[in-house]
Chains A and B, each alone.
Chain A
Amino acid sequence: MDKYKVRNNVRKLRFNHDEITQEQLAEKVGVTRQTIIAIEGGKYAPSLELAFKIALVFGVPLQEVFSYELEGDEK
């Protein structure tokens, strides 16, 4: 069976939203900065609720922040 992975554009979206810091994003969604670091690094796949909260902060649909892709399939 093919292995899929949750990928994200959080770093890019932060950059496009006035370079909002990891600390500020963490505060807005109610998690620690370490969790944002883990999400950005692709080490931690957030819960659906947290994923929606992050998308809300950037004002974009969920699929613009997170995608589910084949592992090793770099864009």
Chain B
Amino acid sequence: MTYQEKSIAVSLVSHLLIVVYYLVNLFQMQQAGGLVSAKVFSLWAIVIVSTIIVNIIGNILTNILLSIVHAIKTRSEHVEKFIEDERDKLIGLKGSKVSYIAFSIGVLIAMLSFAFGQPPLVMFSLLILSSILGEIIGDISQLYLYQKGF
């Protein structure tokens, strides 16, 4: 597994954990008598902030941790360069495109739910869910492209 694949795998696992946390909380709220604005807003905040942290700080931490693991494994002081070449960039772009398409479908479903009489809280919850699902689908498509070669 290359550095890029490991980094995407870490991002995928983090996004999966976030989406599970989000869905479990939403489900619990629904069971406890419906969505309450204050609780839903705080849940959105947690999910959005965690996603940003995963995308920025997670990447940096992954880089550092992988460098340490590489140094321990090879027992050398030589710093491994994790270069990103043209194929990595193309795979990244394809992944972003897949994420964008998945997110667009999610936005459409959220809008339709509102048009068919669901409250705005449900619509926005679906929007946030589709953004994280879009990231997950993008990560999976990138891993698939790396496994396939391109």
Which residues of A does B touch, CB under 8 Å? 30-32, 34-35, 37-38, 41, 43-44, 46-47, 50
Binding site for A on B (CB under 8 A): 2, 83, 85-88, 146, 148-150
Query: Does the CB pair A30–B83 fall under 8 Å?
Result: yes
Contacts of B150 in A (CB 8 A): 38, 43-44
CB distance from A35 to the nearest CB of B (A): 5
Known: A30-B83, A34-B2, A35-B87. 12 other contacts (CB 8 A): A31-B85, A32-B85, A32-B88, A34-B87, A34-B146, A35-B88, A38-B87, A38-B149, A41-B149, A43-B150, A44-B149, A50-B86
CB distance from A12 to the nearest CB of B (A): 19
Chain A neighbourhood of B2, CB < 8 A: 32, 34
Identify the 5 closest CB pairs spanning chains A and B, nearest first: A43-B149, A31-B85, A44-B150, A38-B149, A35-B87
